[in-house]
Amino acid sequence: MKILVTGGAGYIGSVTVKRLLQENHEVIVFDNLEQGHKEVVPCNLILGDLRDKLSYEPLKRQHFDAVIHFAARALAGESMEKPALYFENNILGGLTLLEFMREEHIPYIIFSSTCAVYGTPEKVPVTEQESKKPESVYGESKLAFEKILYWYDTIYQIKHINLRYFNACGAAIDGSSGEMHHPETHIIPLAMQSALRQISFPLFGNDYPTPDGSCIRDYIHIEDLAIAHVLGLKRLVNTKTSDSYNLSTGKGYSNKEIIHMVQKVSGVRFPVEIKPRRFGDPAIIYGDNTKAKNELGFEPQYSDLETIIQSAWQWHKK
């Protein structure tokens, strides 16, 4: 297939592009490089912004078979400080992309969604039937685009799959790319910084109702996410049916387990500073991936904690 990958120069997009190329698909990456890096793109890269209709000119009459849509702002905290940026980029950008797809008769789209559409779940593990009640502008923007996709299927028969990630983590197994946000807010790269710079790590809360008192989250390796996008595309083409899937491991690791594994892999016993709980942090969230296993054939291969941390450490050291 000939596939357009938006945000293909980014953290998860670049790893998925390599997986698509391994499967002998033809891939063109469309990215504005605000958050992506051109050196990790192993195929044709077209610079452009989703929100700018003129940016699509080089993509016209390319006869794409499908789109995989990663391009988005993805930091929940930042979204609460810059809501307009998130609504404009994640909703308006996506809508402009869909109009391009409609005009070019591209029938399929795989959407990089998020478990943030659920907000604080009513029960765990979180299934796809969980009520949707986002608690950030980021989660709201992703849910809004899921609803737009529903109507573009209903009206124009553009079929979609929403892949709702839990905590994306790790680095490419070949060491070519890894997690690098500005500002950085995610626990694993922050713990890596503590190990590399030998500075204290802030642990927000150690009195949660969990076995070790720290929050528990579901961590999914980016290589497993990449595999899931290829499986999702196959499913969509074969069934021509829109759907949504959780991409998770079905279990969680605590913040303290993350810290201890980073210390073990790095060999650095950096200090940990206990701080008050952050507002809005639930004690436990992990996802139910039964539907993805049964319908996509999804089986996480790289998401054990040691593999996650080993891959991240090798990349961060570089």
Q: pLDDT tens digits, residue range 86-129?
A: 999 999 999 999 999 999 999 999 999 999 999 999 999 999 99
pLDDT above 90 (res 185): no
Classify residue 178: in a domain, yes or no.
no
Confidence of residue 184 (pLDDT cuts 50, 70, 90): confident
Q: What is the pLDDT of residues 42-75, one digit of tens each?
A: 999 999 999 999 999 999 999 999 999 999 998 8
Sign for the CA dihedral angle at 305, 311, 316, 317 comes to: positive
Check pLDDT > 90 for residue 20. Answer: yes
The reported pTM is 0.96
Residues catalogued as catalytic = 138
Quote the number of domains for the chain: 2
> Is there a domain that residue 280 lies in?
yes
| pLDDT of amino acid 174 | 87
CB within 8 Å of 24: residues ≥ 6 apart: none
Four-CA torsion 300, 249, 184, 182, nearest 10 degrees: 50
Sorting pLDDT into bands at 50, 70 and 90, what band is 280?
Answer: confident
**Strand ranges of the sheet holding 2-6, from the earlier edge strand across to the other edge:** 44-47, 26-31, 2-6, 66-69, 108-114, 159-165, 243-247
Tell whether 201 and 260 lie within a shared domain: yes
Residue predicted with more confidence, 181 or 276: 276
**Residue 102 in contact with residue 156, Cβ under 8 Å?**
yes
**Residue 94, domain member (yes or no):** yes
Of the chain, the percentage scoring pLDDT greater than 90 comes to 92
Question: Do 210 and 81 reside in the same domain of the chain?
Answer: no
Q: How confident is the model at residue 261 (pLDDT cuts 50, 70, 90)?
A: very high
Residues 135 and 103 in one domain: yes
Q: Which domain holds residue 229?
A: 2-169+220-247
Q: Has residue 21 been placed in a domain?
A: yes
**pLDDT at site 130:** 98
Q: Are 146 and 162 in contact (CB under 8 A)?
A: yes
Indicate whether 179 belongs to any domain.
no
